[in-house]
Structure 1
Amino acid sequence: MKRLPLPLLLALFTAIPPLAIDMYLPAMALMANDLATDIHKVELSVSAFLIGFAVGQIAGGPLSDRIGRRPVILFGIALFSLTSVFLINVQDLDQLLLLRVLQAIGGGMASVNSAAIVRDRYQGKDVAKTLSLVAMIMMLAPLIAPLLGSLVVRFGQWRDIFTLLSAYAFVVLMILSWQLEESHPPEKRQKSSPWGNYLSIIRHPVARYYVLALAFAFTTMFVFITASSYLYLDHFGQSSDAFPWLFGANVVVMMTMNRLNMILLRRFSSPQLLFAGILLQLGATLALTLLFASGQPSLATTVTLIAFSVGSIGLVAANAISLVLHYFHHISGSATALIGVSEFCLGALFGYLWSLLHNHTPLPMMLMMAVSACLALLCVLLARRVQHSDKVA
Structure 2
Amino acid sequence: MADSKVQPKMGNTGFIIFLAFLSAFVPLSTDLYLPALPEMTTFFAVPEIVMNLTLILFFVFYSIATLFWGPLSDRYGRRPILLVGLTLYMLASILCEIAANAYEIIIFRIFQAIGGGVATTVATAVIKDVFVGRKQETTLAIVQSMVVISPAVVPVIGSLLLTFISWRGIFFAQALLGLSVIYGAVIFKETHASQRGTISVMKSFGRLGALLTNPGFTALLVNFSLISIVSLSYISSSSYIFQNTFHLSSRVFSLFFSFNAIGMLLGPLVYIPLSKYIDRFTIIYASFGITIIAGILVLVFGQMTPVAFALTQFPATLASSAVRPPGTYLVLKQEENDNGSASALYSAGGTIFGSIGMVIVSVAEATPVAAIAWINIVMGAICALLLLVSMTFLRKKIVV
Normalised to the residue count of structure 2, the TM-score between the two structures is: 0.90
Matched residue, 1:271: 281
Inter-CA distance 8–93: structure 2 relative to 1 (3 Å threshold): same
2:219 matched to 1:209? yes
1:199 alignment partner, one of 206, 209, 223: 209
Matched residue, 1:286: 296
Q: Residue 166 of structure 2: SS of its match in structure 1?
A: coil
Inter-CA distance 208–99: structure 2 relative to 1 (3 Å threshold): same
Q: Residue 132 of structure 2: SS of its match in structure 1?
A: coil
- Displacement, 1:390? 6.4
Does structure 1 conserve the Cα–Cα contact (< 8 Å) formed by 2:60 and 2:351? yes
* Aligned partner letter, 1:161: I
Q: Residue 288 of structure 2: SS of its match in structure 1?
A: helix
- Displacement, 1:321? 1.0
1:310 alignment partner, one of 293, 309, 317: 317
2:96 matched to 1:87? yes
Does structure 2 conserve the Cα–Cα contact (< 8 Å) formed by 1:32 and 1:42? yes
2:35 alignment partner, one of 11, 14, 26: 26
2:148 alignment partner, one of 139, 150, 153: 139
Matched residue, 2:5: none
- Gaps of at least 5 residues in structure 1 are none
1:333 alignment partner, one of 333, 340, 343: 340
* Aligned partner letter, 1:119: K
Task: Name the stretch that deviates more: 191-200 or 20-29.
Answer: 191-200
* Aligned partner letter, 1:110: A
Q: Deviations over 1:331-361 (max 9, x none)?
A: 1211111111111112222312332233245
Does structure 2 conserve the Cα–Cα contact (< 8 Å) formed by 1:35 and 1:91? no
Matched residue, 1:345: 352
Q: Deviations over 1:56-90 (max 9, x none)?
A: 21111111111111111221111111100000011
Query: 2:24 & 2:309 partners in 1: Cα distance?
Result: 26
Q: Residue 90 of structure 1: SS of its match in structure 2?
A: coil
Query: 2:279 & 2:136 partners in 1: Cα distance?
Result: 12
- Displacement, 1:372? 2.8
Query: 1:203 & 1:289 partners in 2: Cα distance?
Result: 39
Does structure 1 conserve the Cα–Cα contact (< 8 Å) formed by 2:32 and 2:155? yes
Does structure 1 conserve the Cα–Cα contact (< 8 Å) formed by 2:246 and 2:305? no
Matched residue, 2:78: 69
Q: Deviations over 1:195-221 (max 9, x none)?
A: 542233323222222211221111111
Q: Deviations over 1:291-311 (max 9, x none)?
A: 46xxx4332221022222122
- Displacement, 1:267? 2.1
Does structure 1 conserve the Cα–Cα contact (< 8 Å) formed by 2:68 and 2:205? no
Q: Residue 267 of structure 1: SS of its match in structure 2?
A: coil
Q: Deviations over 1:22-61 (max 9, x none)?
A: 0111111111121121234212211011012112211111
Q: Residue 153 of structure 2: SS of its match in structure 1?
A: helix
Q: How many residues were matched structurally?
A: 387
Does structure 2 conserve the Cα–Cα contact (< 8 Å) formed by 1:288 and 1:366? yes
Does structure 1 conserve the Cα–Cα contact (< 8 Å) formed by 2:65 and 2:117? yes
* Aligned partner letter, 1:133: I
2:181 matched to 1:181? no
Inter-CA distance 226–361: structure 2 relative to 1 (3 Å threshold): closer
Does structure 2 conserve the Cα–Cα contact (< 8 Å) formed by 1:125 and 1:265? no
- Displacement, 1:115? 1.1
2:378 matched to 1:371? yes
* Aligned partner letter, 1:345: I
2:123 matched to 1:114? yes
Matched residue, 1:297: 304
Does structure 2 conserve the Cα–Cα contact (< 8 Å) formed by 1:216 and 1:373? no
Query: 2:261 & 2:359 partners in 1: Cα distance?
Result: 24
Query: 2:184 & 2:281 partners in 1: Cα distance?
Result: 36
* Aligned partner letter, 1:186: S
Q: Residue 186 of structure 1: SS of its match in structure 2?
A: coil
Q: Deviations over 1:166-198 (max 9, x none)?
A: 0111012112211x1111123698657345422
Task: Name the stretch that deviates more: 4-13 or 162-171.
Answer: 4-13
1:244 alignment partner, one of 247, 254, 266: 254
Inter-CA distance 305–203: structure 2 relative to 1 (3 Å threshold): farther
Query: 2:117 & 2:59 partners in 1: Cα distance?
Result: 9
Matched residue, 2:230: 220
Normalised to the residue count of structure 1, the TM-score between the two structures is: 0.92
- Displacement, 1:18? 0.7
- Displacement, 1:388? 4.1
Does structure 2 conserve the Cα–Cα contact (< 8 Å) formed by 1:190 and 1:330? no
Does structure 2 conserve the Cα–Cα contact (< 8 Å) formed by 1:43 and 1:227? no
Matched residue, 2:4: none
* Aligned partner letter, 1:31: M
- RMSD between aligned alpha carbons? 2.2
Q: Deviations over 1:354-392 (max 9, x none)?
A: 32233245223332343333322222222221344669x
1:230 alignment partner, one of 235, 240, 245: 240
Does structure 2 conserve the Cα–Cα contact (< 8 Å) formed by 1:26 and 1:149? yes
Does structure 2 conserve the Cα–Cα contact (< 8 Å) formed by 1:65 and 1:190? no
Inter-CA distance 346–199: structure 2 relative to 1 (3 Å threshold): same
Q: Residue 329 of structure 1: SS of its match in structure 2?
A: coil
Matched residue, 1:153: 162
Inter-CA distance 331–373: structure 2 relative to 1 (3 Å threshold): same
2:110 alignment partner, one of 96, 101, 104: 101
- Displacement, 1:105? 0.9
Q: Deviations over 1:130-185 (max 9, x none)?
A: 0111112222222211011101211111100000010111012112211x111112
Task: Name the stretch that deviates more: 97-106 or 356-365.
Answer: 356-365
